[in-house]
Amino acid sequence: MMDHSSFKIALIGNPNSGKSSLFNALTGLNQKISNYPGVTVDKKVGNLKLSSGERLTLIDFPGIYSLYPNSSDERIVVNVLTNPSDPDYPDAILYVATSQELEKHFLLAGQIRELNIPVLFCLTMTDLNEREGISYDLSVLEKYLDVPVIEVSSLKGINIDGLKYKMIELIQDSELKSFDRHYEMSGTEKEVAGHIQGLSKSNNNYQNLLIAHHYQWLSHLSEAERAKIHEQLDGHSFNSMRSQIDETLRRYNQFTPVIEKAVIRSKKDRKSLTQRIDNIIVHRIFGPIIFFAIMFLVFQAIYAWAEAPMTWIEETFALLGSWVQTSFPSGWLTDLLSDGIIAGLGGIMVFVPQIAILFLLISALEEMGYMSRAVFMFDSIMQRFGLNGRSIVALISSGACAIPAIMSTRTIANWKERLITILVTPLISCSARIPVYTVLIGFVVPSQMVWGFLNLQGLAFMGLYVISIIAALVSAWVFKIILKSEERSFLMIELPHYKQPKLRNVLLDVKEKVGTFIIEAGRVILVISIILWFLAAYGPVNEMKQAEELARVEARDQSLSPAETDDLIASAKLESSYAGHLGKFIEPVIRPLGFDWKIGIALITSFAAREVFVGTMATIYSVGSSDDEMTIREKMALQKNPFTGGPRYDVPTALSLLLFYVFAMQCMSTLAVTRRETKSWKWPMIQLGFMSVLAYVCSLIAYQWLV
């Protein structure tokens, strides 16, 4: 038996062609996400074991309409397919098309078959043909395409085995037979491709023509190669856009009659279910109302369902930490393990339930076809703020976490719109801010009912979300004015036919998103947690000792219990630690906002993740042994302001602190992801800068006005 695990099959097709469904049906859980080298587009790779015992690798590429792509995730396909030495360059292509809209798929299919890579043409969603009244003559299609054609339904699992069998044939007989080209290049195109051949790694004419079209952004070309190609093209009357249009039109002229001949539609022009649903879902008035109702339910579900698993995760990590403390010999290594690493890991994992639930719902909405309707509905409003309709997906996702939200902006073709979306996304209140809001809101708004049924604190909570959304939109608008771009903005999005979401697809998507969060945010949070642990656990040696002794004496004088003594010592040690020194160092800067050095420490530790605020407050106010938000709040309420004699957390201070947490960029992981997505340090620094200024100014105004 031959080992073909190095045999790579690429899944290529239009967006909404059922490509990912088929990929999931073929590979199941045998898939993993990685990155294409040098670019930030996720690559889905799966392994497939065939009945013959052979194994092969499947790569799911982003959906595209043509080899003349628009957005950065579409470009990746062309990048790989024009570079035979790319590690992902496929040995064969599985071209995926829905059987209901064949005319939509033949443009790309025609381009693909000219790359000198064996193609297997797969018609999906055949289970819908009968209902839609569609039939076709396979032999006509097969004859025209001159490649094997197979019909499957990934939803019903029909003929997946037949597809696998065809794949075996493809592997065993992967030698390429010659075939008629559908597209005869023009004289100029031939000349240009011929010149490129000398410079590129490919000896396929069509690949070389594609390189001539796309050399400015193809990442496998070096700057020197780019310059050479530019030089070569200069001598020709090669107009890339003209040539693209001609090629596309000629292809349409060729395959349209073939499809007309092969496809029979028995039900003509009936009003489809999708149309009837859309009459309500994207209705002028009901559409937006339904959208906000759905979003309201989504966020309700997040809070209702996530609470129990979050408590469970918190408790597990707390138990694990104390188990390490008690069962290992005490020393810095044990402390690092329990207070640095385990606490840091807990800080990452605690967000998983909320993120998983949000993406479960968003992914289901996406699968059903709803999200593209939201894009369509809100595009014009988004545009006014310099964003794109597609930004709405990022803005909603950032209600859970800005990291996957920023990654979802890859579908936005216009760079300026994408950049603005990335920059303002972290302003939307994410799940890490919730614990902070929970602790602080009680100091600003009393727990009281208005009109008999509305909880005032609940309203204030919602108000913070509204403020964050307004801040995001206003900042976007400012960036729209500041940033200059020559690139034309456009929107072209398919509104797919509604379909029932398939649980497997949704779950795999959630797994992918959560995995990305754990890996991307996780490593940053972990490293920062360790650094912060060090800063909070260590300080100038003598000072730390002295503080501990003083605290011990004080505890004895007040005859505190052993637990209370430990809390007091922890608090005293934190004060004299490096973190305490840092807090005191920044105190002059934050005093105008009503903050003292203790809050300063919390601001610093919040850089790992905002919710660390709660834990830090607990340690500072000597209730380190308790993690309960209510206990911490009670303790905070007892604190006195040494200057005024009033409560430390009076309304001006608490409001100022709340606003600071709404606006400030206290998330290293987000900065790291912004850097990755924008490929420079410039944008994360601008993001950090404008959000810090916004937070500082708003807190300053709020405090100075109220005090």
Binding site for other proteins (CB under 8 A): 65-66, 68, 70, 100-101, 103-104, 107, 132, 241-242, 244-245, 248-249, 252, 272, 274-275, 278, 282-285, 287-288, 372, 375-381, 383, 389, 488, 490-497
User: 159 in the Ramachandran plot: left (φ > 0), alpha (ψ -120 to 50) or beta?
Assistant: left
> What's the DSSP call for residue 284?
T
306 phi, psi to nearest 5 deg: -85, -20
Q: How far is the CB of 358 from other proteins (least distance, A)?
A: 24
Q: How far is the CB of 274 from other proteins (least distance, A)?
A: 7
Q: How far is the CB of 189 from other proteins (least distance, A)?
A: 16
In a 13 Å sphere around the CA of 193, the CA atoms on its Cβ side amount to: 18
Three-state secondary-structure class, residue 16: coil
Amino acid at 556: R
| DSSP secondary structure letters along 497-526 | PP-PPPHHHHHHHHHHHHHHHHHHHHHHHH
Q: Are 142 and 149 in contact (CB under 8 A)?
A: yes
Q: How far is the CB of 55 from other proteins (least distance, A)?
A: 35
Give me 696's structure tokens.
């500082």
Q: Residue 581 and residue 572: Cα distance in Å, rounded? A: 12
Closer of 129 and 692 to other proteins (Cβ) = 129
Closer of 496 and 539 to other proteins (Cβ) = 496
Show the CA angle centred on residue 157, arms to residues 151 and 162, nearest 5°: 45
Buried b (16+ CB within 10 A) or exposed e, 561-595: eeeebbbbbbbbbbbbbbbbbbbeebbeebeebbb
Q: How far is the CB of 480 from other proteins (least distance, A)?
A: 15
Q: How far is the CB of 238 from other proteins (least distance, A)?
A: 15
Q: How far is the CB of 18 from other proteins (least distance, A)?
A: 14
Q: Residue 392 and residue 378: Cα distance in Å, rounded? A: 8
Q: Which of 615, 577, 537 is nearest to 317 (CA)?
A: 615
Q: How far is the CB of 247 from other proteins (least distance, A)?
A: 10
Q: How far is the CB of 498 from other proteins (least distance, A)?
A: 11
How far is the CA of 521 from the CAs of 36, 157, 215, 489, in angstroms?
19, 36, 34, 31
CB contact set of 327 (below 8 Å; sequence gap of 6+): none
Closer of 376 and 534 to other proteins (Cβ) = 376
Closer of 78 and 698 to other proteins (Cβ) = 78
Buried b (16+ CB within 10 A) or exposed e, 51-67: eeebbbbbbbbbbbbbb
Q: Are 512 and 360 in contact (CB under 8 A)?
A: no
Q: How far is the CB of 103 from other proteins (least distance, A)?
A: 6
Closer of 63 and 404 to other proteins (Cβ) = 63
Closer of 14 and 429 to other proteins (Cβ) = 14
CB contact set of 467 (below 8 Å; sequence gap of 6+): 659, 662
CB contact set of 563 (below 8 Å; sequence gap of 6+): 625
Q: Which long-range contacts (CB under 8 A, 24 or more apart) does 75-79 make?
A: 75/214, 75/217, 76/36, 76/39, 76/41, 77/12, 78/210, 78/214, 78/218, 79/36, 79/39, 79/218, 79/219, 79/220
Tokens 């008035």 sit on residue: 285
Q: How far is the CB of 127 from other proteins (least distance, A)?
A: 16
Q: How far is the CB of 104 from other proteins (least distance, A)?
A: 6
